[in-house]
Amino acid sequence: MDLVLNTLGAEVSEGVFRALLSGKEVEIMDTSLMKIAHCVGCNQCWLRTPGVCAFKDDYEEILKKLVKTDSLWIVTDTRFGFLDYRGKRLMDRVMPMLNMYIGFRDGWMRHELRYHPLNIGLLYKGAGDQALLEDWCVRTAANIGGKSLGAYAIPGAVEKLSASPVISNAVEKSSLRHLVIINGSPRVEKFSNTDKIIRSFAKGLEEEGVTWELHNLSDCKQWDAARNAFLTHERTLIAFPLYVECVPSLMLEFLSTLPAERKVPGQLFFLLHGGMDEGNEFRLAERFLQKLPAQLGRSYGGTLIKGGSFRIRTTTDEERAKMVAPWPPMGKLFAQKGTFLTPEAERFIGPEQYPWILRKLVSLLFLKKVNGEFDNFAKGWGCTRPLNDKPYVQ
Ligand SMILES: Cc1cc2nc3c(=O)[nH]c(=O)nc-3n(C[C@H](O)[C@H](O)[C@H](O)COP(=O)(O)O)c2cc1C
């Protein structure tokens, strides 16, 4: 039986979904009034209590059903052409369906499946970007070993994507003196890999005399200051980790609180990183980011992308220093050029996909060591179960 998670509640009648999914046996869960937190990347479900989320909220009921289905549909509203934060949040919390171990699956670097493959489909309302949503289903399903079930607009509930407004690019002509940096990671600052990357990148800014200020979205008490800084300064850089192929749901919620219009010109830049090494992993998020600034009344100043950031937090000090070493020169270059739309930034992402021979070598020489490192880290955290444990299967 397919599981349908309906974030829209009574807004759209169940009959409409059933008609759209005709012929399928479905169980519909209304999640609109459920208490569901954003995933905060605490890693407990991977490294302390394998397969069990640290949040004791209503998502546990969903997780127990996911273990028994092979197809999941999300019924969601849209924002910025993508799932809104309520829909995306349901996918960010799906992490316990995978485990921490990394390997190659179908030619791509992936986490191991904890249970079975999961097919993913979307039913959406509002102004969705059909191509983006379809691709997101394909990528997300592949991440969990399954197939895309497709993205379908709910009849009668669709709006046209409005044409992007004409954005002034006056800021691009002025020189960069100060940069507002927002850390979009849901993980607390102290443990955030994004934080380590930002601080390394900022060393390069400082070398060129550019000042910067930092706001963390993981702390909701900082949201007002972050919003205010975004609205009153010319240049904002949002740095964040890839979460299920795009922006973390917590960051989407923050973005939804920003007004779409700006009285003075402004530019928006992104620094995107994530666990997997290969550049291709980040391309869908990059497409989303290219269109986002216009919807917030800003011009797009490019996205700097690099993978392989998982272990910044879990590795030794020496290795961490090596992992963040590429970022200060990029900060320096950014301070000089005032943009990521440069050949150097484009090259920074590294290979799109490892060729097969390299995949073999990485598996043999590197991933074995890395997966062992995860075992040791988990033991240090007091984990007493195997990392590939299946807690919801008797
Ligand atoms: C819910 C969740 C989803 C994630 N999805 C992806 C993904 O799709 N691709 C990827 O490369 N890394 C993914 N990651 C890994 C993070 O991008 C990576 O661990 C990053 O270094 C975390 O940065 P932070 O410590 O600042 O939060 C995910 C992590 C979490 C917690």
Buried-exposed string 36-59: b where 16+ CB fall within 10 A, e elsewhere: bbbbbbbbbbbbbbbbbbebeeeb
Q: Whose CA is nearest to atom 28 of ligand 1?
A: 243
Assess whether pLDDT exceeds 80 at residue 164.
no
Could you identify the atom of ligand 1 that is nearest to the CA of residue 140? 8
Q: How far, in Å, is the centroid of ligand 1 from the Cα of 275?
A: 5
Q: How confident is the model at residue 163 (pLDDT cuts 50, 70, 90)?
A: low
Q: Domain ranges for the chain, please list them.
A: 2-158, 170-347
What is the distance between the alpha carbons of residues 21 and 2, in angstroms, rounded to a whole number?
10
Question: Does the fold of domain 170-347 match that of domain 2-158?
Answer: yes
Which residue(s) pair with 150 in the sheet? 121
Please write the tens of the pLDDT for every residue from 231-290: 999 999 999 999 999 999 999 999 999 987 776 789 999 999 999 999 999 999 999 999
How high is the pLDDT of residue 394? 65
Mean pLDDT (whole number) for 78-94:
98
Summarize pLDDT for 203-222 with one digit per residue, the tens. Answer: 999 999 999 999 999 999 99
- Rounded CA separation 250/218 (Å): 8
| Element counts in the chain: helices (H) and strands (E) | 14, 14
Query: What pLDDT does residue 53 have?
Result: 98
Task: Report the C-alpha gap between 9 and 303 in whole angstroms.
Answer: 36
User: Is residue 64 over pLDDT 80?
Assistant: yes
Which residue has its alpha carbon closest to ligand 1 atom 17? 274
Other C-beta atoms lying within 10 Å of the C-beta of residue 276: 19
Which tens digit of pLDDT belongs to each residue from 30-46?
999 999 999 999 999 99
Residue 312 pLDDT > 80, yes or no?
A: yes
Please state, in angstroms and rounded to a whole number, the distance separating the CA atoms of residues 249 and 296.
Answer: 17
Q: What is the mean pLDDT of residues 287-313?
A: 94
Instruction: Answer whether residue 360 shows pLDDT above 80.
Output: yes
Top-tier CATH class for 170-347: alpha beta
Least confident stretch, 23-37, 82-96, 166-180, 349-363: 166-180
- Residue whose CA is closest, atom 6 of ligand 1? 243
pLDDT for 393 equals 87
On whether the CB atoms of residues 39 and 45 are closer than 8 A, the answer is no
Comparing CA positions, the residue from 200, 5, 211, 194 lying closest to residue 89 is 5
CATH number for the domain running over 2-158: 3.40.50.360
